[in-house]
Amino acid sequence: MKKIIIGGIISGIALPILSISGLYATIYFFPSLAEEYFNPAFDSQSGRIMFYYFHPFIISMALAWFWSRFKNILIGSYIARGIEFGFIYLMIATFPMMWLIYSALNVSIGMIITWFILALLQGVIAGLIFEKTDP
């Protein structure tokens, strides 16, 4: 349990750094895509905004638990296991959600692709952190 919490906290600190870096990269390289976030669907004025900032810690703890349960089936080197873990997360959790979001909400395919890439990077980075904290 201690390894799950330590890995989850470290990953929870690393993931917002990745997200903020990705946000600035999107603004710099794809300014028209960044303008889509001014859509009223993205309400950042409500009192629930703190839930958004807790997301990296929630996903990190969930992924740390998942890692502890399934790390033994991942094979290969440190990096290969981290990448495989990221792809497992991508295909089990992210792909179905992106499919649902694209089919139900007014967001562009470009935005879905950037979220998909971010989720892949989150999964890989979390996997690499978990590999170090709970091999």
- Burial letters 74-111, b for 16+ CB under 10 A, else e: beeeeeebbbbbbebbbeebbeeebeeebeeeebeeeb
Q: Give 58-116 pLDDT, tens digit per residue.
A: 999 999 999 999 888 988 898 999 999 999 999 999 999 999 989 988 888 988 998 89
Q: Kindly list the domain boundaries of the chain, sorted by start residue.
A: 2-35+52-133
The CA distance from 52 to 30, in Å, is: 23
Q: Mark residue 76 as left, alpha or beta (left: phi above 0; alpha: psi -120 to 50; beta: remaining).
A: left
pLDDT the model gives residue 44: 65
Q: What percent of the chain has pLDDT over 90?
A: 36
Local confidence band at 4 (pLDDT 50, 70, 90 cut-offs): confident
Q: What is the pTM of this model?
A: 0.83
Residues in the chain, total: 135
**67-72 long-range CB contacts below 8 Å, 24 or more apart?**
67/4, 67/7, 67/126, 67/127, 67/130, 67/134, 68/3, 68/4, 68/130, 68/134, 71/130, 71/131, 71/134, 71/135
* Residues near 80 by beta carbon (within 8 Å), at least 6 away in sequence: 74
